[in-house]
Structure 1
């Protein structure tokens, strides 16, 4: 028997702002809010499905340095260029983590500066 990732916790200054951004990026919905201001988002089927839920937990400390773990995302219904444009319109911005410029992926940052990568291949 093995474990499965069920939730990922992301500490941030503005949980609602990041929840809104990532709901748009991933096609998720808000599943609930916490008394402390935290927001949980996930797929329509909710907690326990094939995809983990994301919990944005309030934290007033500023982000410092490159993240040790980041998300990789793939477009599902368009090519990489079209998805890049969509993500930039949602509030993502290009990020430099030392890439050479020859990569097949784009490094971006969410509205709070958390890095993530848009990969080239499309998933269905």
Structure 2
């Protein structure tokens, strides 16, 4: 049997703010809080995200990132929704591509892909 991703750990300066953003973005919910951070989770088959507080500044491009696939709206509408939640547009050197690069409130980059046809 192979392994599966259980948790994704993200360092951030404000775990509560990051949790609020990612819960709204992914339709997750807060499952735990302690002195180190906040845990959020979605459906049982989805990995949990642990948002751990740190004072270390983010340096450079995020080496691992999320690709978000809108499920109920087009890419432009999803980008607009995420920006309203606190994301910012980011230029990491991408050129003419079919995804949009954003950063969460803690500066972690992620991509918003074009909507996938659920019937496909």
Relative to the length of structure 2, the TM-score reads 0.94
Aligned to 2:14: 14
Q: 1:14 to 1:52 in 2, by over 3 A?
A: same
Task: Report the alpha carbon displacement of residue 37 of structure 1 after superposing the two structures with TM.
Answer: 3.8
Q: Which runs of 4+ in 1 moved over 4 A?
A: none
The whole-number CA distance in structure 2 between the counterparts of 1:123 and 1:29 is: 26
| Aligned ranges 1:82-121 → 2 under 5 Å | 82-100=77-95, 102-121=96-115
Instruction: Let me know the Cα RMSD of the aligned residues.
Output: 1.2
The whole-number CA distance in structure 1 between the counterparts of 2:87 and 2:15 is: 16
Deviations 1:72-98 (CA, angstroms, capped at 9, x unpaired): 101111111111110110011101111
Structure 1: runs of 5 or more not aligned? none
Q: How many residues align?
A: 118
Aligned to 2:40: 41
